[in-house]
Amino acid sequence: MPGPASIKLLLSFASRLGLSTSTTIAKKYGFSATNLLGKAGPDRFIRDLQAGLDPVKHGEVGLHFYTFGGFKTTAEWIADHRSALSA
């Protein structure tokens, strides 16, 4: 999944890779023309994923992040997310 990055940057990567963005998915995860300058992170996606996981059925689940917004930004986001979960 993409780590935190500007929405404009994520759409740019998608375009270069020949991917289109579903309007429904974009709206669901907060992408809109009015917030192209903002940052998007995987917060909502991870919450939705976590809500559907059953540790007995699925076991331990690991995540792979693409650091489109930069390695440091992604690493800081992961550390902050882990701290929030253990608080």
Per domain, the residue ranges of the chain are 1-54
**Greater model confidence, 11 or 32:** 11
Report whether 7 contacts 15 (CB < 8 A): no
- Cα angle, residue 51 at apex, residues 47 and 53 outer, rounded to 5°: 115
Residue 61, pLDDT > 80, answer yes
28 CA to centre of own chain:
12
User: Any alpha helices (H) in 1-87, and if so which ranges?
Assistant: 7-16, 23-28, 43-51, 55-58, 71-86
Assign 74 a pLDDT band (cuts: 50, 70, 90): very high
CA-wise closest residue to 46 among 29, 59, 31: 29
Rounded average pLDDT over 73-84: 90
Q: Output the pLDDT for position 72.
A: 93
pTM of the model: 0.63
